[in-house]
Structure 1
Amino acid sequence: MRYCFPALPSPLNSKTKGPLLLHLRSFTIFSPPPYATHLPQSAANPAADAAFRLHSCSDPSLLAQIHALVLRRNLLCLPFHWNSLMRCYLRLSMPAAAFLLFIHMFRAGATPDRYSLPIALKAAFTSFAFSIGRQLHSVAVKCGLSCHEFSESGLISVYAKAGEFAPAQQLFDENPNRKLGSWNALISSYTQAGLCIDAIHLFAALRRGGELLPDEMTMASIASACGSLGDIRLAEQIHRHSMHTSSSGHLDVMLSNSLIDMYAKCGRTDLACNMFDEMPHRNVSSWTAIIMGLATHGNAWRAMELFRRMDVTPNHVTMVAVLCACAHGGMVEEGMAHFEEIVEGRVKGVEATPAHYGCVADMLGKLGWVHEAAEIVERMPWPASAVVWGALLGACEKHGEVRIGEKAAAKLLELEPWNDGVYVVLSNIYAGAGLWLEVERVRRLMRNSSSGKIPGYSLPDVTVSMGGVNWLC
């Protein structure tokens, strides 16, 4: 390789994804590398110095200079050196550069070790280039790396993120000696996709196996799944089991945050507050979880009190929680003040997002300021989502605003043409205004719409269906 990539784009877009796939298809590796199952060798002093510089580099322009220096001194002789350079590009949010470096690793005659492929998988995962997952799977098989823990868990994550759970599950099932990282990858993927019962069944299988013990990452994922289900009995079991799992006797910050969120989603904000108060160390996610939990359950004043006590810099999710608290508590002046601070860039490190605009529109609409809410939606630099238009439509129904309600309904039907509930709400708005001819017209449109009624379903009691309330312990 004779050049570096200082100006490569951060995401893998349609222009970069195609050539990468072609490069991958051109690989021909007939046997596993001799060192594929060994740890990387120690580097000589110049290479170690380069690796140290790469590890400490935080400036993309400086990285380009270090990359050029590494090439001039011919230090890319071991996978360890390539891995250090790829990790640095990935750490600086340049996944496309990391991935192209992985490709040039082959062209330079080097063969990846068991640490190289997970970096490439993370680059694809970070860039949402999930279609490359199958190509990387082929490379892993050719290199004899597909059964290594980090490679397998990375492949599972990429497949699952692409919505291809069948190959992810097959990859998991075909390895009888799977490690905890593979279990964690699949449990986390099921949870993030909303397949929470599948995640809990998989966790139960891990516990029944008895060979591996869940770690904090496992418990954080399963706590998130439980919170989505809202099962307090299961939540209490998970909390008890988390205490048994902790090697130090104290829960780490990540797991504690997950338990706070779990209890809040199960409606037990008292237990969430107890968890928060008992934490010896808190990060921004800890404060965000408790503020959001209190806000969504109507305790807006307590949420805002905690926000004022917050001793770490808030992020954009924290500010969503704050605006949500203002919306639930009817604190319009304070909510608008925080919103203007965000829009004007006066909150350090926080840029306005659609979620911030949506929260403010919801806040104004709930209090009857429907015209002001509509103006906020119109001011959004992005197209409003169905959630935002739905909130505005609900406010129009509550406060009898016909004209804005018609516009919100039309926008919502563009985004969700299958949603018959829009017709029902619009019909109610017309009925409240005494426009009976319009009511009949809307009901006729609903009858003639091609979409059918979406069937309801019941959520099973997970703890009962899995054989009692003590199956985790």
Structure 2
Amino acid sequence: MRACLCEPCAPPSHQDSRSWLAFLDRCTTLSLPHYKQVHALMLRSHALARSSLLDRAISTCAPLDPAYAARLLLNLPPPENPNSFAFNALIRAHAAAPCPHTKHQAIVLFRLMLLRSNPMPDKFSFPFVLKACAFLFALFEGKQIHGLVFKLGLAMDPYVNNGLVHMYASCGVANLARQLFDEMTEKNVVSWNSMIYGYVQLGFFEEALGLFSEMNRLGDVAPDAYTVHSVVCACAGLGAFALGVWAHRLATRLSLDNEQSLLMCNALIDMYAKCGCVTIARQVFDKMGSRDVSSWNTIIQGLSVNGSGHEALDMFSRMLKDGFKPNAITFVGLLSACAHSGLVNQGLSTFNSMRSRYGIEPAIEHYGCMVDLLGRNSRLDEAYELITTMPLTPDAIIWRTLLDSCTRSPGKLDLSKVAASHLLELDSDTSGAYVLLSKAYARANRWNNAGEVRKEMSLNNVAKPPGCSYLELDGVVHEFLAGDTSHSRSRDIYSMLDEVEGRLRSNGYVPDASKADVAEPDGGKEQSLLLHSDRVAIAFGLISTTPGTTIRLMKNLRVCSDCHHVIKLVSLIYEREVIMRDRARFHHFRQGSCSCMDYW
């Protein structure tokens, strides 16, 4: 045994607790096999019967091999005067492991600790097991643990409450997370980060930014790197460019370690790309001191949604040259880039290389991108064949993608019906199938059939989500619905809309009534087009910014072709660049043309 260990870590000659503890302190750099040798020697000398030595032995090897550490603890007789330290170390190690099964063992160990009842959990036990519950979305177990917190009198402990806030937010119960957060009498930066990041995870970006504003207003706790990271992510979700730039400035004033810097840069690349600022996103990427696969995936996806397909493929070549191995997410970005840029041959080649060259089995997301790629290029029969022959069961997104492509291709009404039928079987409670099928009928000028689809939609109590556009001005996000009159500058907005309509018509614009709501009477279809939410938002941008200022907006639905044509004309007539982020991609309108080249 002694020969297997290096001299500085030779076992103590005196077998008392102090000597063993000093010996274990010198063994912090040992590998797991050497630790096992040490543990064998400690077992032979009965040292592990002492609580302090068992605790130290467990805590040193648990991060290296949680399962081995658990066996070491559970297979030994309980020491005299046991405490929670060893169990806490085990629960923490299991909760921090990347494997979901290992994380679940943290909950199992916590339950075993309760069954043994000696020792009982303390305030250090709960944050670790709640972290495992948060990752596993184990709301049922999390609620039981919350009840135990009350029983043990730990309901006022800030660290336990931080774990509960994080658990509830991760499990999608934002109201309970916020209630706990508001009731906390003592909040630290982790408390604020847990709630802000919880909002970001759930897509409640405005709430996240509102809470961050409250944090700054109170001034009791200074934001750290993780706070700013969450704010940057919220700005990305909202397309809030000005706030994102401010958050970027705040990040540059923080002292970040390498891991934090990498995380922050990846978030900034994503934020700038989702605000339509690909140039700045690339600048952040190029200045990074170190990158990981997520960095490459983020910039490739950013180029993709902004219509820079060739640049995305070039970035992939650069990624391979730098020695990074692509993963499944990389290929989602690449295939999406090909679909958004009409690069059919490159997309087919990339898809085929996944399995043959990189050993990555295509998932449902990759098949969805291929259906989108083929459908956008009017190769709908090939797209349908791919769906019917793929080794995976097509989901609702696949059929919706095909149906969406059919609505833009004349003469494909029969295929539209097939796709709609499959989509309704999988997802009959949402409006997508009804709306797209009615559009297919409208494109074929079969208005009665389109009306029947909308009637069936109404009878089934299925509502279409209203079109909504967002425009950020001076750090404030303004929201507009179709025909919205709730804004404080509504009178000025509609005066500008009238001016825009007049100048559009003088430039030869004729509304495409087939893009109007089927429910509108024939005389009102053109008028309803003029009041789409994106046009209202752009009118607000025109009256609220100086000439030449770029107008940035985000829309929750896909922009219709009539509005797309209108915004191109607005960019030409008013000499404005308009950057729109819709449900599918970005559109950069400049001097009467769009970056998508009318291909979306």
2:369 aligned residue: 359
Does 2:333 align with 1:324?
A: no
* Contact residue 58 and residue 90 of structure 2 kept, 8 A: no
Note the 1:164-243 alignment, pairs <5 A. 164-243=173-252
Alignment match of 1:57 (pick from 45, 49, 65): 65
Give the Cα–Cα distance (whole angstroms) in 1 for the partners of residues 160 and 454 of structure 2. Answer: 55
* Contact residue 403 and residue 420 of structure 2 kept, 8 A: yes
Give the Cα–Cα distance (whole angstroms) in 1 for the partners of residues 402 and 476 of structure 2. Answer: 40
Give the Cα–Cα distance (whole angstroms) in 2 for the partners of residues 359 and 309 of structure 1. Answer: 22
Secondary structure (helix, strand or coil) at the match of 1:399 reads coil
2:413 aligned residue: 402
2:114 aligned residue: 106
Alignment match of 1:392 (pick from 402, 426, 442): 402
CA, structure 1 residues 425+93, in 2 after alignment: closer, same or farther (shift >3 Å)?
Answer: closer
Between the two proteins, what is the percent identity of the paired residues?
34
TM-score w.r.t. the length of structure 2 is: 0.64
Give the Cα–Cα distance (whole angstroms) in 2 for the partners of residues 123 and 345 of structure 1. Answer: 37
Alignment match of 1:412 (pick from 381, 405, 423): 423
Secondary structure (helix, strand or coil) at the match of 2:408 reads helix
Deviation track 1:332-374 (CA, whole Å, cap 9, x = no partner) reads 33323332343x37535x5533222211111111112212222
Q: State the shift of 1:194 in Å.
A: 1.4
Give the Cα–Cα distance (whole angstroms) in 2 for the partners of residues 282 and 212 of structure 1. Answer: 31
Q: State the shift of 1:203 in Å.
A: 0.4
1:425 aligned residue: 436
* Contact residue 55 and residue 86 of structure 2 kept, 8 A: yes
Give the Cα–Cα distance (whole angstroms) in 2 for the partners of residues 455 and 429 of structure 1. Answer: 20
Code of the aligned partner of 2:57:
D
Code of the aligned partner of 2:124:
Y
* Contact residue 261 and residue 290 of structure 1 kept, 8 A: yes
Code of the aligned partner of 2:419:
A
* Contact residue 394 and residue 425 of structure 1 kept, 8 A: yes
Q: State the shift of 1:238 in Å.
A: 1.0
CA, structure 1 residues 187+345, in 2 after alignment: closer, same or farther (shift >3 Å)?
Answer: farther
1:68 aligned residue: 71
Alignment match of 1:78 (pick from 83, 88, 92): 83
Higher mean C-alpha displacement, 262-271 vs 67-76: 67-76
Does 2:274 align with 1:265?
A: yes
Give the Cα–Cα distance (whole angstroms) in 1 for the partners of residues 388 and 159 of structure 2. Answer: 46
* Number of equivalent positions: 419
TM-score w.r.t. the length of structure 1 is: 0.79
1:93 aligned residue: 100
CA, structure 1 residues 407+115, in 2 after alignment: closer, same or farther (shift >3 Å)?
Answer: farther
Give the Cα–Cα distance (whole angstroms) in 2 for the partners of residues 371 and 308 of structure 1. Answer: 31
Q: State the shift of 1:138 in Å.
A: 1.7
CA, structure 1 residues 84+353, in 2 after alignment: closer, same or farther (shift >3 Å)?
Answer: farther
* Contact residue 215 and residue 246 of structure 1 kept, 8 A: no
Does 2:322 align with 1:277?
A: no
Higher mean C-alpha displacement, 137-146 vs 244-253: 244-253
Higher mean C-alpha displacement, 224-233 vs 130-139: 130-139
Code of the aligned partner of 2:181:
F
Note the 1:2-13 alignment, pairs <5 A. none
Q: Where does structure 2 lack aligned partners over 5 or more consecutive residues?
A: 1-49, 479-600
* Contact residue 269 and residue 284 of structure 2 kept, 8 A: yes
Give the Cα–Cα distance (whole angstroms) in 2 for the partners of residues 277 and 43 of structure 1. Answer: 53
Higher mean C-alpha displacement, 78-87 vs 194-203: 78-87
Secondary structure (helix, strand or coil) at the match of 2:106 reads helix
Higher relative contact order (CA 8 A, sep 6+): 1
